[in-house]
Structure 1
Amino acid sequence: MPELPEVAGLAAFLSTRLSGAVVTKIQITSFAALKTADPPYSALEGREITGVDRFGKFVCLRTDGMCFVFHLARAGWLRYTESPSAAQLLLGQSNIAARLGFARTGPDAHIGMDLTEAGTKKSLAVYVVRDPMQVPGIAALGPDPFHPDFDVRTLARILASSRQQIKGLLRNQNAIAGIGNAYSDEILHAARISPFAIASSFDIAAVEVLWEAVHTVLGAAVTEAVGKEPGELKETKRTQMRVHGRAGQPCPVCADTVREVSFADTALQYCPTCQTEGRILADRRASRFLK
């Protein structure tokens, strides 16, 4: 799943390629992905892209008076081309959920963008709105980690108001925008905090450590992502992970074996020595330890 750094990379890439381009064609081939009906998506055709913004894990293509917003969910991705096909896509006949064509001046005047989604569980979402705040997921987002108002006191208030385990809270988009399964693992490892720690139990010293880890981990990942093409971002993310997706491998900090806790549809990874005082977390949702 693309998270804040990868979405920031996509937004930066699209901004350099699409700003000033005119939308020439939109094809929606998965109507399950289209979440809005008014205005119609065809109303975007003929409009100029004036900017590209990121809201948490959402990307917003702005035009004069209208926005095309998308969320790639777990298995979605973006494919950009400077040799777009003119073929008409058939409804539900490929992994392409939406295709946009653009025209710009200069070389490679015609460019294209596909939103694709692998697998059978379809969660990719597309919105055509007059204001991005009309997208429910954007309107409900918590503070962005890079917003100037997201300081230690803000994080302390968020944690103090929740009895949730810190791993789940970091992934909660209504609490903090943009962090998902992978980067929550990485942040907690950097902060040396158990994923099962209860958010409201943190004292101010622990909040400061967590706040610093959020900015260090996400900041480094954004720096790596921005400037890369979409096709490079997945591998860039994978190579930057220290514990996420590395169960059974040595921790790069202490060389202990990275462990995993599996749930019904996801898993987390952590280092016992760095995060749980050497204790192995039980492989179930309850925050108990194996004896």
Structure 2
Amino acid sequence: MPEMPEVEGLAQFLRERAVGRAVSAVEVGAVSALKTFSPAPTALAGRRVTDVARHGKWLDLVTGPGQPAGGAAAGDEPGPAGDEPGPPGDDEPEPAELHLLVHLAKAGWLRWYDAVPATALRPGRSPIALRVRLDDGAGFDLTEAGTRKRLAVHVVARPADVPAVATLGVEPADLTLERLRALLAARNQQVKGLLRDQSVIAGIGNAYSDEILHAARMSPFALTRTFDDDASARLHTAIGEVLRAAVAAAAGRPAADLKDAKRRGMRVHGRTGQPCPVCGDTVREVSFADSALQYCPTCQTEGKVLADRRMSRLLR
């Protein structure tokens, strides 16, 4: 699943290529991906991309009104009154902003084209959920592999109109040590779960929570109210260092390279059975119904191997 560093990389990639361009067309390939119906995605056509932002794991293509009818820039001399196209009522002002908000979920991704294929999308015929064409011929597809379709596309006037965005927790860059201590003390839960809770800290998922806990030398099942000042400080440092390094690794990379860059940067996540790069012990795994975590026993659990089942005895 793309997490904060990869989504930040995608936002930067799109920002450099799409800002200032107008959306020429939006084509829907999978109706199931659309989570809002008004405005429709086609309402983005003719609007200009003004920014590309990120909220946690959400990608946000921000658009503003396009040029006046006929392509004249604001401030140009108007033509004869009879040249103004459009039926009565077309002079209503466009919304100041419309946001194309995207959550890529577990198997979603963004595929960029310098020249978008000319053929129109055929719904249900490919993994493409949405295609956005820009006025210079470039654009992108939102794709989703597999049969479990969870990619989510919203077209809204404000990001906060999407409840999952409105309830996001603190961004890691804004997470002070004092605030982290308060979050740890708020309720007694496994630290792995706290890191992944988007309403607590926005943007961290399964992969980077594994990496953070390895860097902090902590069991994924450690209970948050057991954390003393030293443990809290180690966790805070690890969050900052791991995510800053991942964001730096993603910066400037083409969208197609971000997944591989993420995999190469992992020390324990996705490396079950391989040697820990810190101590050389074997990286172990705990599997759950639809996910798994990885950890190093020597670095994180005082040499204890966690039972590979959902009801593992928790380590304190």
* Residue from 194, 202, 205 that aligns with 1:169: 194
Unaligned runs of 5+ in 2: 65-96
Show CA shifts across 1:180-219 (max 9, x none).
1110000000000000001122112211110000000000
1:51 aligned residue: 51
1:21 aligned residue: 21
Show CA shifts across 1:234-278 (max 9, x none).
110000000011111111111011110011111000000000000
* Residue from 101, 110, 115 that aligns with 1:69: 101
Show CA shifts across 1:4-54 (max 9, x none).
100000000000000000000001111111001121221111000000100
TM (norm. structure 2) is 0.88
1:3 aligned residue: 3
Are 1:95 and 2:120 matched, yes or no?
A: no
Q: Secondary structure at the match of 2:309?
A: coil
1:214 aligned residue: 239
Alignment of 1:12-161 (within 5 A): 12-64=12-64, 65-103=97-135, 109-147=136-174, 150-161=175-186
Larger Rg: 2
Amino acid at match of 1:191: A
Alignment of 1:211-290 (within 5 A): 211-288=236-313
Q: CA deviation at 1:289?
A: 6.9
Segment of structure 1 superposing worse, 280-289 or 31-40: 280-289
Q: Secondary structure at the match of 2:23?
A: strand
Q: CA deviation at 1:286?
A: 2.7
Q: CA deviation at 1:285?
A: 2.3
Show CA shifts across 1:70-120 (max 9, x none).
0100000000001111211111111000000001xxxxx210100000000
Cα-Cα RMSD: 1.1
Contact 2:222 2:314 in 1 (8 A): no
TM (norm. structure 1) is 0.95
How many pairs align?
A: 283
Amino acid at match of 1:73: A
- Distance in 2 (alpha carbons) for counterparts of 1:289 and 1:247: 20
Q: Secondary structure at the match of 2:160?
A: helix
Contact 1:282 1:289 in 2 (8 A): no
- Distance in 1 (alpha carbons) for counterparts of 2:314 and 2:203: 29
Runs of 4 or more, structure 1, over 6 Å off, are none
Are 1:199 and 2:231 matched, yes or no?
A: no
- Distance in 1 (alpha carbons) for counterparts of 2:217 and 2:189: 18
- Distance in 1 (alpha carbons) for counterparts of 2:190 and 2:262: 25
Q: CA deviation at 1:287?
A: 4.1
- Distance in 1 (alpha carbons) for counterparts of 2:314 and 2:25: 55
2:85 aligned residue: none
Amino acid at match of 2:18: L
- Distance in 1 (alpha carbons) for counterparts of 2:314 and 2:259: 33
Contact 1:261 1:283 in 2 (8 A): yes
Contact 1:196 1:287 in 2 (8 A): no
Contact 1:279 1:289 in 2 (8 A): no
- Distance in 2 (alpha carbons) for counterparts of 1:159 and 1:208: 11
Q: Secondary structure at the match of 2:169?
A: coil
Q: Secondary structure at the match of 1:114?
A: strand
Q: CA deviation at 1:164?
A: 1.8
- Distance in 1 (alpha carbons) for counterparts of 2:13 and 2:303: 42
- Distance in 2 (alpha carbons) for counterparts of 1:154 and 1:285: 30
